[in-house]
Amino acid sequence: MKKLSILAIFLLVIMSSCAVVRQGEVGVKRTVGKIQEKPLMEGAKLYNPFISTIIKLPVRTVNMEVRLPLPSKEGLTVQSEVSILYRMEGSFAPSIVENLGKNYEQVIILPVFRSAVADVSSQYFAKDMHTGQRAVIEKDIKKLMDAQLKERGFVVESVLLKSIVLPAGLTKAIEEKLEAEQDAQRMEFVLNKERQEATRRIIEAEGIRDSQKIISEGLSPLLLRFKTIEAFNKLSTSPNAKVIITNGEQPLMVNGEN
């Protein structure tokens, strides 16, 4: 019985002295308060639980969501929800644990983000955060964060402005401006259509005028004489009885019957 107890205690010690560093993690070994400079990669790691501990940190991409007010260029406050996608470089893990601790998000990531977002957003008008300028703002914030975090072992992959809530008065003003722009575009469309229709009518009138001019110029006295003779010939061959009055130039039928 005593041997079984000793064996159980031995197995418990062995199990408690083994740590598993999983995929997407990196381990940092601390022995008697001293941080081992070389990080521990994936796999099972043996250590002395009485004098050492293994701290595991994520090296996969982390999504940190932050709600905060953004100052604008005109002095307004815009409520926002922002996602920060970042990851830790595994080789920096021992230095991060030693200098920043495990709570590095609150110690450095969030303060750097708040500073960067305030610097960038204050250069833009509130309406810009709700338009195509949003992508430019995101890139500028990321660039500022990279400049301060990269040398500490953090890589900022993206900064995403997920939602922007403008002040009520500004939102109404933007909507009214958009409506006015749409009305102006509709009016411009109508005016262009009317101009095209007027141009079409002018071209049609010019065509009719030119056609009539050509016809009138082509009706010479000889042609009219020829057409008159043709008409007399057709009347003379007609089997119907008719009364024709003529001045010798043009026939005029005033009565006819079968």
CATH fold group of domain 62-169: Tetrahydropterin Synthase; Chain A (3.30.479)
The pLDDT, as a whole number, for residue 19 is 80
The pLDDT, as a whole number, for residue 206 is 81
The pLDDT, as a whole number, for residue 220 is 65
Q: Which of 82, 29, 88 is nearest to 59 (CA)?
A: 88
Tell me the two tokens of residue 111: 């303060």
The pLDDT, as a whole number, for residue 254 is 46
The pLDDT, as a whole number, for residue 154 is 95
The pLDDT, as a whole number, for residue 198 is 84
User: What residue ranges of the chain are covered by domains with CATH 3.30.479.30?
Assistant: 62-169
pTM confidence score: 0.58
The pLDDT, as a whole number, for residue 10 is 47
Q: Pairing state of beta strands 52-58 and 62-71? A: unpaired
Positions in the chain whose pLDDT score sits under 50: 10-15, 253-258
What is the spatial distance between Cα 195 and Cα 201, in angstroms, rounded to a whole number?
Answer: 10
250 CB-near residues (< 8 Å, 6+ apart): 228, 231
